[in-house]
Structures are given as C-alpha cells and as structure tokens.
Structure 1
C-alpha cells in the first residue's frame, strides 16, 4: 500500500495562521503535496486583541482570523473537527466522531487550556466558551465578579472588564507578592479590589486566568512533555524522538531554550516552523531556531493607556504606548485580510448544488430528445411496495472529503424523503483528482466514510459503486477536485407523495431556512464571518430523515411535497404548481426563514453563480404566486437562491399544519388561496 503524503497541520494557532498567510501570499513557498489544516472552528481569535474585545472596543469580526477562507487562498484543505489524540506509531491524527487522518508530516499548534480546577471558576482558555460566559453576565449586578490569577492575562482581563462593566464590583485574586507597585496602582485606579488567594470565592462569580497548560491528549499520546504538558521539541521545532512531527505555539517548548507560553513567541515561531516544514517536504537541511531570551510585552488598560515589560523592566503606563500597541495589533490582523482577499472581479463558480445545470437548457435538452412529463423527486419502479430511486451529486462543496461525503448523502437522500420514502441503500460514483495512489485512497476512504455516516443513521447500506480518475490537473487544494454522485433507493410506507397535488386552502410549510447558496458564495469571497458558515453547516449536516416519523400520523393529509435544492424556493414551488390544479399561492414575506446574514448578503449584491439563471422563476410572481407585501431585493434573491441540503416544502390542510407547527421545526410560509383566471 502506498501511504498518503499529506502534511497535516493540527490546530489553527498563530504559528499555523501565519504559515497559511505565507503560502497565500507567496505560493512558491507552498510544498507540492496535499496539506490539511484541522481546527475545531472555522476561525481563531488573535490573542493580542482579545482584551479589547472583552472591553467592548472591538467586535469579534475584527479580532478573528478566517481560517477556512485563508486555507482556500493558500491551497490547503480545511477540516473542522475536534482533535483528541495522535497515534504516533501508525501516524494518525485522531478526531472526535469521525475517521482518523493519516499524515506523513504532522505539525502541532493546538494552543493551550487554563490550569486549575472548575471549582476556581470558568477557564479563560479555550476562549470561545469563556467569551460566551462573559456575555451571559449581568453588567449591573451587585454580585462581585472575580478574576483568579494576576499574571499579564489576569491583569488585562480584569481591566478590560472594568471598561465593559463600569459599575459592577470587580476583584482580582492573587498572592500579594505577585503584584508590584505599578500593578497595584492600576487596579486601584480601576476600582478593582485585590483579594488574597485564600479568600472566600463562594459569594462571587469567577473567571480563571491561572496560567496555561497544553491539552492533555498530547501527553496521553506518548509525546515527551514538560511539567505543563507542553510537548518538547529540539531547535528545529521537531518533537523529540519523532522527526516527522513538529510543534510550535503555546502547546510546545524548545527543551534547551524554554520560553513562556505567549502569543509573542507563537508569532515568532511561525517563520522557522514554515521554513523547516518546507525544507523537510523538499528533503533539504533544516535550520535551528535560536529565539531571543526576552520579548517586549505591551499591556493595555483598555482606557487609553498601556505599559511595557522587558523582563524585570517596566515602563508606563502611557497613551503613546497604547496607540503603539493598537497600531501593531491592527496591522497584524489586517495582514490576514489582505492575504485572504480575492482579486477584484474574480469569477466565483459556485459548488455544491449551485453547480447544477440551469433549468432552461435542462428543459430544452429533455424536450429535444422527447423526454417529457411532470418532474418528480424520485422515479418509481413497480413492485409491492414500489421502489423509489433517485440520483444526485455535485462537485465538492468543501475541501473536507468526509464532510463533503456527508453533505452529498444528505442532499441525495432528501429526494426520497420528499416522496415519503426511507432510504434503504445507495451506490456511489466517485471521481477522484489525479494524485498519487495513497492520497487517492485516503480521499476515497474519507468520502465513503462520510456517506456511510448518513446511511447508518437511517439503517441503510452502501451496496456498491464506481470510481473514476479526473483527466485534468487537480486544483489546490486537491480535495476540491473530487466529485461524488449517489444513487439512493428506498420504499414508502404509504402512498408516495408527489410534487403535484396542492389543494385550495393548503398551508405551505418549510422545514429549515434558506440561504446556503449566497452564504457559500460569500465564503469563497471572504465576505462573511466564519461563524456564519459554522452555524449553517451545523444545520446542513443534520439529517432530516426523522421528519418522516413526525409526518407519519398525518400521511394522507400531505397533499404535495418536494425538497428545495438548486432551483431555489420559487423554482421548486413552480414545479409543484405546474403539476397541481390551477390555483394561486400567497407567500408570507416576513415568514420565509433565512440563515443569519443571508438576506444582508443578498441585499449587498452577492449571489450564487446559479442565481442569475434561477431568476427566470420570478415570472411566477407575475400571476400564480403573490407576496403579501412588497418584497425587498434581498427577499427576491432569497426566493431563487440555490440550496444544498435544503428544506422540505409540503402542502397540507391548515389543521394538519397547526399540529406540525406546534411540534417544530416547520415554518408556515404561505397558503394556497384558490383558482386563478
């Protein structure tokens, strides 16, 4: 067996983010092999600006690095997953709830977690849960809020909280000898009470800033670690005893040149890490890194002043140092936006179901060869009960083959769900990019594992398939050169639902929001916050097959059903109307659900590359379909936005709708009002 040659970057810390920026801006430095970044979120927060965000001086979008978009620009695949370990012997990065990732080279930059026990309060690291905890606090509460730990992090956080909460009682818990005269003066000015470590904390809410340690899975994986669990490396940033594993940032320490866990050192480690990873991939000599002994720290009070530390020397606070720190931080984060920016007028050919053929040439081609009839979501093959079959697929929506396999299987299965059928089996056709056999094997295995994750939830099986190799050069990342098509088979436990059959007085119900087309188009352009893509994927990756169990008691009351995919809500509603008796439909403009930020993006002029062709469906608004109020341009565009893993749309009596609406997740978006002239 030929092994995969992938370089896997575990974690989206500052060192890896700067590595991606280097490859995005200077592609000639990027090693000519598959590279994968794994991180638990689609973004990472720049630690230097987190206190300003806590203080309310910066919004999160100004502090985060969009890792998914940066990976796209750097030609690196992005996998959103929780890392839980490393199998050093088999060279596998272990992930929670999904298959392991094999590596030829591994680089660790997974950050750190706060030391201490939960009894001492909520940990500041990882940052995202801590920030959510702070957002839940009542600013005007009389209950003291305590920050535990008086290192630089504790000082900056408690001073930032004073800016955020001008009146709430604040405390800093520390050993008295840990603080100098300057720190005590700053705390007194900010009206922060200093309490000793043995003080009672039961009567206050606490945030733990007690120093950090590496994630525990590093030590349990068998890597050499220091007392804080940080993995030990040599001066080449290779893990001791494992020359194909590198590490940098807060999770690592150079054994003979230890430096504190700090964003400063993570930033400085980025260039030597990049150079040595590139050299190792090209079989060149590595360069040792000799970090300077001390680094300058700038600590802000979030009220317009900062002070500087260099070892035991301190200077400030001063407004000049504050302005200097703010300028450094803003330049740092702006450099990532420059690295991730697309060239003006760069065409964005959308992927996923937005890559389907527009309706007009599809219909014309079918007529040309004599294929006609009402379009249905699945073909019915006679039998008892009849077999329902559908085929669907698209070019990879994401550079994560497991996730792409899952999304494609969910999307294909929805054709059967729209007919009231459960999926029994599937076959797959996978077109793989032209890569070395080990890489192809891994992409195929990850893709099929993603498909099976959906089928197994439904009690279905993957019973066969076919593989092909593309005859064009693979893109970067190569994972985007993968195309997956599925044939899904199933049977209905009652009379199959059809697209046609809407009756006068029927309510129209939608099972989930719209907007995937524009959101992924915006993500390609770096024009949407990473959290928006994270949230839409959280919905898209959930199977809707359980809706059939909810609908089973109302089976005969479902008069028509379809799933909303590439032609958008209006295009697929039009297919339902073409197959039904003449009637008019009224849509409730304010009730049509959209994913967060989808309408804003559409209003700004962003759209999927399939949207212009879909706009021909607006003709339905001239007669058969009416909106109950004048629509915004954003809503008009939402009606034709192509969907991947989109909602089910069904028509049923109002009494049935009332029952379904009370149970969720349905939203009534309209009503069939009767015939038209």
Structure 2
C-alpha cells in the first residue's frame, strides 16, 4: 500500500515527533501513520534514576503514548517487535500479523549487552523496574549484598539511586577496571557502597547488569548497516544508508559521519530534524542535513550524607559537583521536558458543536427507552420486553433440546488499532453465545470502512479481518464470509482513519444442549460475576486525558482475554451439579443493573416476586474506574442507563426489586454515588453473570482456574 508511515518504537525522538504533529496538525504527513511500541507508555530516561530512588512516581516519568498518538491522529499498536523484512517492507510482531509500510522510522532504543552473568539487565527498563520491586522486601542489613555490575555513569547513578531506595541493604558496585572518577568514588564511599575491582569477581546473587548497551539484534539480522554496537548507521539527514525509505534516530542509530555515544540528549535534539525530514520525504521535498554538537552536558543524580538530593555536571572530561543546586537544575530540566507532553486533555473531547464527544464501543448502543419504543411501534414489543442473548435457529429433531443459536453485535471502533478492534468486536459478539452456554462455531462480518485512499482501506480491512480471525480461531470457530461497505460520510476528523471502521458480527453456535436462559431466577440463588466492571468510564475519561495509562492497559488486558474457556469449564461443573444453573447473561451496554432488570423481566413476571440482594463492596471494579466515577466522569450512555436505578426504589408496600447493601459506604457519599454509576456503566467485552444454586456456587468459587466473584443473592420478595 502507499502512504503508510510506520514509527517503530516509542523513544524520545518519536514521542517529540508525535507532540509536534499534535500541536501542529498541518505539519503531519498525509496518509496513514502507525506507532508500534511494546508498551503504551515510554519512560523518560533522565528521570528513571529518580524513579528508582523513590523521588518520582511512575506517573511522573511516563509519557502516555496512547494519548499522544490519539492527539496526533496516529494509530497505536502495542506489540513486541521481533523482526524486519526489508524486501517486502513488513515489520514483524509477536503474536499478531506483520505490519506493511511504505516508509519506516526506527527509534527502538537499546538493550543491555548479552552476558553470561546472572544479573537482571537494566535495559529494557520495564523488566528491570519490576525486578527491583521484587527485591524491595529484602532491604535490611541481614540480606546478602545486591550487586551492580558496571562502574560507568549508568552503573554509578543506579547504585546511588538504590542506596536511597534501600538505606540499609549492602550494595556492591563491581567494576572491571579502575573506574569511576575519583569524585564519584568518594560519593560511593559516603553512600557505603562497596566498590570491587577485578575481572574475576563472582557476580552470583541478586543484582543489575549496567555493563553497556547495544541496539536490538533484529536490526542487524534485517540487513541494515550497523556499527560494532549494532546501531543502525544513517547519513546526516537520518536516512539509513542504502535504504532511503528507512529513517533512524535515538539510541538504536548513529550518524556514520558524526558518531556520538547513545544519549537521551541527542535523541531529544534529533526529534526536530527527524520530524522535518519525515514531512519533507512524504512530500517529495529535499531533506535537511543535521550535525549534532560534539559534546553534551550530562547531569548525574545522587544524594549527600544526609540523604538530600545532589548532582554532578559532566562535560567531556570535566566533572563538577556534587552540589544541591545542580540537582535543582537537573530536576527543572527534567520536569520541563515532561511538561511538554501535558497537552490540554484529548483533542477529541469536543465535537465541532461543542458537545462532549460520544463514547465508542458498546457505549454507542441505542438507549433502552427509544429502542423499546421503536420495537413496540414495529410490532416487535416482545423483543424488548423479553430479550434473549441469542436466538435458537434450529431445534434438535431428537427432541433433546439441542439447537443452533445465533446472535449479532458490533460497534464503532473503540481503539485506533484495527487488529485489536477486530479482536475486541469478535469477543464482544461471542459473549452473547457464551451467556447461553454455547460454543461459537462460525461468524460473518459486515465491515464499514471510512472514505479514504484505496491502499488505506485495504490495510484497515486486512488488519480488522486478521483481528476477527485471531479471536474466533482460538475458540475453534471460523470466519466464513461477510460484506464490506464504504461510509458515505467524510472520514473522521477526530483522529486516525482507523477510528472510522465499524464492524458488525453475526455469530452462530455449534449444536447446544439445553441453552442457559436469561430468566429463571430462584429464591436462594447466588449471583456470580466473571470479571470486573468499569470499561465504559475508563474509555470515556481517556478521551479527556483523565485515565492513567496503566489502568487502560489493565482494562484492555481483561477485555482481550476470551471467556470461552471459562464457559467450557462451567459446562463441566454444571454436569456435576444438574439443575443448579438457573439463569445467565452477559453485561454489556446497559450495565449490570440494566441487564439484571432483563433477568428479572417485566414487573408482572414471576421473577419480580424475588428480591435481589447486591453486596456493593463485593462488586469488582477495574483499577481506576471507581476513582474516575467519584471524580464525575461517565460514559455518554450512562445518563440513559440510569433509568435502571428505578429497580432500587421501592413503592410503598412493595420492596425494591434490587436491594443494594452499602456496607461501610456512607449513604449519599461520593463513594455511594460512584457505586450507583458503576452499576449502570456500559461494558464492552464485559463479564458473564450467573444465577446458580448454593452448591454450584460453592464449587465455582473454590475453583482455582476461574475467578467467579459472588456479588449477591436472590430471596423471596
């Protein structure tokens, strides 16, 4: 396809390029742009030692790439890069199809050099930070020494940061030569960090390896020109030598005519030339040459005898410090850099008319009230008053109750990654069959693509189909056909063209014996929920830049996890407890309370003679969801869903259909209001909800392979 610019890696250069395009959208190259990174955030290297020391929180040092890409109209793909096919122009990824590109820009950082040592490598940073958290429990003097291999600037700074993190634990800095600088040696002595010199020292036991870095080996395997450290060699325009369609910057690259050691300083300063040349290349204009300065000032953080922060300034061979004013200077520089990424919320939070942006995913569902009115006017009132999750198409000729079930579902793109959106749509549609105890056997899709260049449409369609297949085939199901349409409105102006994709999926089951009904609650039933709530508010708040990246990551991790294995296991438990599973549904657009109302049926039904007791403290919420609800965030569908709060209100002598036990939550408090909002929060790829007898409930709650949570019971009204 033509016009697809692929940014591989979320390093400092690429982050600043995205910021430029978010702030100056007229500079953004036309066409499709995709950023691929192993995480949804990028850690600012200048503040990582302070993070290790405990002076900064993770939020303070992390650049939110998802929000930044969203603001720049760029697709974000969170995946591990495993290779590069230059001939076919494909970037190879772990656990998903390769991405085709027209132009490629590399900013994938560096990794620690391979070694026979047993210590954890300092790079990539995320695993190293996770490793340090596992060591936090061993911070006393009684523990064995923690070793830092390498006495370069990185090793010294990490060692000093670890002393602030662990004031008592023995620390050893293992040097292979007579390093570091005498001033830094004195700092190590003051910090009571043993410096051991020698090439035959044992490096067994816990520790970090800070012995130098190299570029990822897949760059060299791809056939790119590299130096001795595996860094991709470019000319002064940052084009890779011999490959004019590839650019490179940051720690993974080096200008052949002006070699410099890897440093965040040069990665930051390369961002401007890289952005201008990517823009010029997309327009067929001449590229600009860039010659980086010969030396860069480095500021090294540490602490004095009293644990107060201090720093050194390094310029070539000159070392000045330590001094607290240098630390304040370093801190000011670092914080100013991070402030550059604090744009004013998402640029997609308001429509042209000034109204709040409407939510995507299942929150784009038509509210219940107009839906029921329309069904009634069309003579289909029974579909609204007694809805089922799936329709039975065929009956078992043997009369044993087996049949084929069918359901349909879909929504506008929830995320910019079309592969991931395809997977989410397939899992969401499948849950209607799972709620009936059925196995998905086949599916057909209707995919509406935005008006765009034919190459863009082809790429969006292929990625969407691949995502659908990924979710279906792991269930043993097949995508057997479908239909494509082109939207007749203009392409979306609020982000990447991928947000203009809409998918509707019809799913069919294998022959299913005794499908689980939606209604059939009995007194004494236990209500079980399969996963946490909160996807609606998390995605709604993310459009305002209010959702923490790790919370959105947690939500997506839950949503992309198929529940078909849980259903298969539940079927086995059901066979050992016959007649104990009385009702089931999945929680989607109308929220937990709305779908509980569907399980109860209309007020005149027998089920409404029961009263459901909900334990507010037991209802699970995704990380961050409850805090966002307390802060007043909500999905655009939530106001319509609040009509389900009527189930909580009694009418005189008649008790409420659903009694909400608040426990320690004060009535009328912000926590109470947040809980009420959680009950009507629309869910995409939401949980399954069961009403089962006590014996089956006990067996499921004891099952170590599933995570059912008891949220309430049913009792006589």
**CA-to-partner distance for each residue in 1:9-36, whole Å, 9 max, x for gaps?**
0010000000011111111111111100
Aligned pair in 2 of structure 1 residues 395, 673: CA closer, same or farther (>3 Å)? Answer: same
CA drift of 1:179 comes to 1.7
Matches within 5 A, 1:106-125: 106-117=104-115, 119-125=117-123
**Structural mapping, 1:203-218, within 5 Å:** 204-218=205-219
Q: Which residue of 1 aligns with 2:715?
A: 673
Q: In 1, are the aligned partners of 2:51 and 2:57 still within 8 Å (CA)?
A: yes
Q: 1:620 and 1:112 mapped to 2: Cα distance? A: 57
Contact 2:440 2:510 (C-alpha < 8 Å) held by counterparts: yes
State the Cα deviation string for residues 386-440 of structure 1 (Å, max 9, x = none): 2211110000000000000000000000001111111111100000011111111
1:619 partnered with 2:636: no
Computed over aligned residues only, the root mean square deviation of the Cα atoms, in angstroms, reads: 1.4
1:198 deviates by 2.6
Is residue 521–residue 714 contact of structure 2 (8 Å, CA) maintained in 1? yes
Q: 2:689 aligns with which of 637, 644, 649?
A: 649
Q: Distance in 1 between matches of 2:326 and 2:443?
A: 63
Superposition deviation, residue 177 in structure 1: 2.6
**In 1, Cα distance between the equivalents of 2:91 and 2:547?**
30
Determine whether 1:250 maps to 2:251.
Answer: yes
Q: Give the alignment partner of residue 369 of structure 2, picking from 339, 357, 360.
A: 360
2:652: which partner in 1? Answer: none
Q: 2:584 aligns with which of 556, 561, 586?
A: 561
Give the gaps of 5 or more residues in structure 2.
397-401, 650-655, 666-671
For 1:605 and 1:363, the matched residues in 2 are separated by 29
Equivalent-residue separation in structure 1 for 2:228 and 2:236 (angstroms): 19
The answer as to whether partners of 1:51 and 1:156 remain within 8 angstroms in 2 is: yes
Asked whether the equivalents of residues 173 and 193 of structure 2 are also in contact (C-alpha less than 8 Å), the reply is yes
1:451 maps to which of 460, 465, 468: 468
Q: Single out whichever of 381-390 and 644-653 deviates more from structure 2.
A: 381-390
Which residue of 662, 666, 671 corresponds with 1:629? 662
Count residues in correspondence: 673
Residue equivalent to 1:223: 224
- Distance in 2, Cα, partners of 1:492 & 1:584: 34
| 1:442-500 alpha-carbon deviations (Å, 9 max, x no partner) | 11011011101111111111111110111222123000000000011113532111111
* Alpha-carbon distance in 2 for matches of 1:201, 1:272: 45
1:434 aligns with 2:451: yes
Structure 1 residue 314 corresponds to structure 2 residue 314: no
- 1:346 CA displacement: 6.6
CA distance in 2, matches of 1:286, 1:613: 54
1:100 aligns with 98
Q: Corresponding residue for 1:155?
A: 156
* Residue aligning to 1:379: 391
Q: 2:542 aligns with which of 500, 512, 523?
A: 523
Describe the shift of the 1:654–1:291 C-alpha distance in structure 2 as closer, same or farther (beyond 3 A): same
2:379 to 362, 370, 373: 370
Contact kept, 8 Å, 2:112 with 2:211, in 1: the verdict is yes
- Could you tell me how far apart the structure 2 residues matched to 1:542 and 1:180 are? 51
CA distance in 2, matches of 1:320, 1:537: 43
* Residue 399 (structure 2) aligns with: none
Q: Judging changes above 3 Å, is the alpha-carbon distance between structure 1 residues 112 and 616 closer, same or farther for their aligned structure 2 residues? A: same
Q: State the partner residue of 1:323.
A: 328
Question: Equivalent residue for 1:265?
Answer: 266
Instruction: Give yes or no for contact 1:428–1:485 (8 Å, CA) kept in 2.
Output: yes
Alpha-carbon distance in structure 2 between the residues aligned to 1:468 and 1:288:
45
Give the 3-state SS of the residue equivalent to 2:340 in structure 1: helix
**1:139 alignment counterpart:** 139
Q: Say which of 411, 435, 442 aligns to 1:418.
A: 435
Deviation string, structure 1 residues 175-206 (Cα, Å, up to 9, x no partner): 34332211111111111110014353355421
What is aligned with 1:182? 183
Conserved? CA contact 1:560–1:650, under 8 Å: yes
Asked whether the 8 Å contact 2:118–2:205 carries over to 1, the reply is: no
SS of residue matched to 2:381: coil
Q: 1:346 to 1:241 in 2, by over 3 A?
A: farther
Q: 2:24 & 2:3 partners in 1: Cα distance?
A: 22
1:196-247 alpha-carbon deviations (Å, 9 max, x no partner) = 1435335542101111101111111111111111111111111111100000
Q: Deviations over 1:144-169 (max 9, x none)?
A: 11111111111111111111111111
Quote the offset at 1:118 in angstroms. 5.2
CA contact (8 A) 1:391 1:486 kept: yes
Distance 1:168 1:207 in 2: 15
Alpha-carbon displacement from aligned partner over 1:71-101 (angstroms, at most 9, x marks no partner) = 1111111111111111100111111111111
- TM-score of the aligned structures, taking structure 1 as reference length: 0.97
Q: Paired residue for 2:82? A: 84
- The CA deviation string for residues 19-64 of structure 1, in whole angstroms up to 9 with x for no partner, is 0111111111111111000111110100000011100011000110
Cα contact 1:500–1:580 (8 A) shared by 2 = no
Once the two structures are overlaid, the 10-residue window that deviates more, 572-581 or 365-374, is 572-581
| Map 1:61-72 → 2, pairs under 5 A | 61-72=59-70
- Aligned pair partner of 2:623 in 580, 585, 596: 596
8 Å contact kept, 1:509–1:669: yes
Counterparts of 1:390 and 1:9, CA distance in 2: 39
Q: Which of 483, 486, 492 is matched with 1:469 structurally? A: 486
Q: Partner residue of 2:678?
A: 638
Three-state SS of the structure 1 residue aligned to 2:270 is helix
Bigger Cα displacement from structure 2, 522-531 vs 613-622: 522-531
Q: What is the distance in 1 between the residues matched to 2:427 and 2:344? A: 34
Does the residue aligned with 1:338 lie in a helix, a strand or coil?
Answer: coil
Secondary structure, in 3 states, of the residue corresponding to 2:265?
Answer: helix
Q: CA deviation at 1:379?
A: 1.2
Deviation at 1:339, TM superposition (A): 6.2
| Cross-structure match for 1:45 | 43
Q: Is residue 147–residue 203 contact of structure 2 (8 Å, CA) maintained in 1? A: no
- Taking the aligned partners of 2:13 and 2:412, their CA distance within structure 1 comes to 32
When residues 201 and 528 of structure 1 are mapped into structure 2, their CA distance, relative to the original with a 3 A threshold, is farther
Change (3 A) 1:434 1:670: same
Tell me the distance in 1 between the aligned counterparts of 2:459 and 2:224.
25
SS of 2:480's equivalent in the other structure is: strand
> With structure 2 as the length reference, what TM-score do the two structures score?
0.92
Q: Where do 5+ consecutive residues of structure 1 fail to align?
A: none
Tell me, yes or no, if the aligned pair for 2:232 and 2:248 is still in contact at 8 Å: yes
Partner of 1:236: helix, strand, or coil?
A: coil
Secondary structure (helix, strand or coil) at the match of 1:496 reads: coil
